[in-house]
Chains A and B, each alone.
Chain A
Amino acid sequence: MDTRHITTTQAAAILISTIIGVGVLPLPLFAVQAGGTGAPLVTFLGMVLGAIGLFILTFLGIRHPQKTIITYSEDIIGKWFGRFCSLFVILFFFILTGLAAREFGEVVVAGVLQETPLEVTVIVMLLLACISCRNNINVFSYIHSFYLPMILAPVLIVVALSLKNANLLYLRPIIGTNLPHMFLGTLTISALFQGSFIVTMIIPSMKNPKKAIKASLWGISISGGLYLLLVIATVSVFGTEEMKQIFWPTLELARTTAVPGNVLQRLDVIFLAVWVTAVFTTLFSSYYFTIHSIKQLLNLPDQRMLSCFIFPFIFISAMLPQNLLQMYEFIKFVGRVGLLITIVYPGLLLTIDFFKNRGLKGSASQQT
């Protein structure tokens, strides 16, 4: 941690490519199940909630520019209690990594490679992340910046080409009908922004930690904007009622969309091929965060061995859900509970930190 190399742009790129991941595929379904025609609104609210969590973390990071949530929580709420809470943070990201790999495998097996065993796709993906995690944080940021265009481009292309079949009528009325439902949906959607937690790990390596706010702003607005665009496109093409019948509306959108001039009659295979990178960057981030945090918690000098060590455990956790439906029930549940960790916990930390500092600085601040 002696070198600070990550620029603001790189930090934003890390955030974007971490947030955009497997969730892209079922996102429109979650939004429509919650809000009906209010799906774009639900997505927007989810994004706002995700942004709140992200900004709390960024503020915390700026107040402690040398440390991550694992280390500064020890300062704020005491060594042992801090460590106890960090344990949950690590466990959460550990599960998140497993689930993301599993969801990826399920989509690939259901959609394209029907004969390939689920275990193989999951192992290959995890192994890739595991090997990449042996690099330091600078390589980590390079990998993210390098893949960013490949994550954004296919989604934008599919959305743009699908507008041919769009019917704006399906988007109205903009405000859905069932309010309590919409609230739950907002929680589910904002869980898709949980990758932004990674910001706490990047700030200590940023050239200028003060600019982390700017990076967060860009990160959340680009990834959130992309999510919003995707929801609007799928709803306007399929309508809310048809979407409730489709597991992965985004994939279905790619299947319905043709490149003009009979070049390609369906885009799903290409979309899936490129979507693999989006999944990889997300997995890579949560994997990296998990082992980086374990390293800090245990005060280990290096994380390389750790990366291989936890690999089998993540794989086992990925294999726990019995079937696709159980997996999604689990993902939704873990996502909502995770909000306690990604929003409420940092919020508490920030409040305590704030009051603590005011008590300390009480006399000093009178001078200015």
Chain B
Amino acid sequence: MLHNKRSLRLLLVFILILPLLSGCWDAMEMERRANVLAIGIDEAGEKDRNKDGEVAHLKNSFLKPQGNLIKVTAQIAIPGRIPLGPEQGGGQKPVLIMSVVGHSLEDALQNLQQQVANELFLGHLRIIVLNEKVARHGTKRLNDLLRRNPEIRRTAALVVSKEAASEYMKLEPSLDRVPSLYLADMVDNLSALGRFPPSFIGLFWTIYSSKGQEAYLPYLSIKQKNIIELKGLAYFKGDKMIGKTSPLEIGVFMAIKGVGKGGYGAFVQVPGSDKTVMVRIRSRKTKRKIELKNGLPHVRLKIRYECEIDEKESPKIKINHSKVLKSIEKETAKNMKNSIEKLISTTQAAGSDVFGFGEYFRAKLPRYWNGKIKTKENWERAYQQLTYEVKVDTLIHRVGMKAK
């Protein structure tokens, strides 16, 4: 009897321990996953149209989204070929590039899955490249899947490209063995260097959703074979890209937006001569005051630059006296003011409040906002009538290691 009881207990203990031996239900080996590192989205051309698979819908069915077909090019990591550190030599390509067509992003991804043996995994997606045409027709149709899918990171980068996005997937940059990582790092590092305001897909959505501001994205272009360049800032109206700036205007944009980290430099003519010096912004401080003037929104911008002189054009100019610096400061401030006013009026013409002035009105003048604005569309209209004053102060503290 006693013996029986003991063996029963032992048996129970074993049964209890048994579940501990089992693994994770969702276990998935790394090499059995198809890690998508980057996605490029284009509008499908004539040639690609026929490629549309019958995976998520039937060809002649009425049940498919309207809109144009999109072409999705994905970069999939090949297991074992992604180097974990610096590595000599190499030669095998670390990624597989595939291209599919679909009515929506999910449709395209399903078509892609139909062609790949391993399960697609989007958790390592670092960058999404949108062709300019796609961006101009609206990003709304892409946002839903990207928000809904739990694998996708909110910190992934989103960029607009001048050339076909599929070209970017095929790039082979020399600085990094994994092309998509180079692309993603480019976006991240450029904002760390003060060349672009912070930008990632989560931020894009946040700005796009809020009523008093419009989204912006980096605008890239392919310079030569395998070299990409940050060509400007794409600004949006609603979910549609509506224009782009020049690279230098990114700096102006950052000044108005109030991004403290400076990076851009510009030539400034030294008063009293026809030669120029290169003045580079180290940091800035932006103050915005908003008010209503005759019932119309009015913004007063006060921007203070901290600069240094990087280079002068010719030995004829002498930077050896504080008075010279003062005059350069004044000249810089004048130039800055002009370019700031120019950029604001350009975006006003487009009706795109990419600087987010509207958010200030929403936050600080709720009565005006709730009475007259309320929706994004109304603010887009009101923004075009916005008046502004710009005041720029420039301070040059340092001139580098050279005495003259």
Contacts and interface: CB of A to CB of B under 8 A. Distances in A.
Nearest to B364: A172
A229 interface: no
B147 interface: yes
Contacts of A112: 26, 150
Contact of A265 (B155, B202, B359): B155
Name the 7 nearest CB pairs between A and B, nearest first.
A172-B363, A241-B209, A116-B25, A242-B209, A173-B366, A256-B154, A242-B206
A312 interface: no
A38 to B, nearest CB: 10
A239 to B, nearest CB: 5
Contact of B206 (A111, A172, A173, A239): A239
Contact of A165 (B25, B203, B362, B370): B203
A72 to B, nearest CB: 40
A115 B206 contact: no
B120 to A, nearest CB: 13
A245 interface: yes
A37 B362 CA distance: 10
Interface in B197-243: 198, 202-203, 205-206, 209-211
Interface of chain B, main secondary structure = helix
Contacts of B366: 172-173, 177
B83 to A, nearest CB: 17
Interface in B144-176: 147, 150, 153-155
A292 to B, nearest CB: 26
Contact of B153 (A115, A177, A237, A265): A265
Contacts of A256: 154-155, 202
B359 A169 contact: yes
Contacts of A115: 25-26
Contacts of A111: 150
Contact of B363 (A113, A169, A237, A258): A169
A266 interface: yes
B147 A114 contact: no
B139 to A, nearest CB: 14
A245 B209 CA distance: 9
Contacts of B363: 37, 169-173
B305 to A, nearest CB: 23
B360 interface: yes
Interface of B: 24-26, 147, 150, 153-155, 198, 202-203, 205-206, 209-211, 359-360, 362-364, 366, 370
28 contacts: A37-B363, A113-B25, A115-B26, A117-B25, A169-B359, A170-B210, A171-B363, A172-B362, A172-B363, A173-B366, A177-B366, A177-B370, A237-B206, A239-B209, A242-B205, A242-B210, A244-B209, A245-B147, A245-B205, A245-B209, A246-B147, A252-B154, A255-B155, A256-B154, A256-B155, A256-B202, A258-B155, A265-B153
A112 B155 CA distance: 18
Interface string A168-189: 0111110001000000000000
A238 B366 CA distance: 19
Interface string A264-305: 011000000000000000000000000000000000000000
A113 B26 contact: yes
Interface in A96-153: 110-117, 120
A240 B210 CA distance: 7
B375 to A, nearest CB: 11
Contacts of B198: 165
Given A239-B210, A242-B206, 14 more contacts: A37-B363, A111-B150, A113-B24, A113-B26, A169-B359, A170-B359, A171-B363, A172-B364, A177-B370, A239-B206, A242-B205, A244-B209, A252-B154, A258-B155
B211 A114 contact: no
A255 B153 contact: yes
B26 A114 contact: yes
B82 to A, nearest CB: 16
Contacts of A173: 363-364, 366
A271 to B, nearest CB: 13
A116 B205 CA distance: 30
Nearest to B370: A177
A110 B151 CA distance: 10
A266 B206 contact: no
A244 B364 CA distance: 22
Contacts of B370: 177
A308 B209 CA distance: 49
Nearest to A124: B19
A228 B155 CA distance: 25
Contacts of A246: 147
A110 B150 contact: yes
A169 B206 CA distance: 13
A238 B206 contact: yes
Contacts of A241: 209-211
A246 B205 CA distance: 11
A116 B206 contact: no
Contacts of B364: 172-173
Nearest to A251: B150
A29 B209 CA distance: 15
Nearest to B153: A266
Contacts of A113: 24-26
Contacts of B206: 237-239, 242
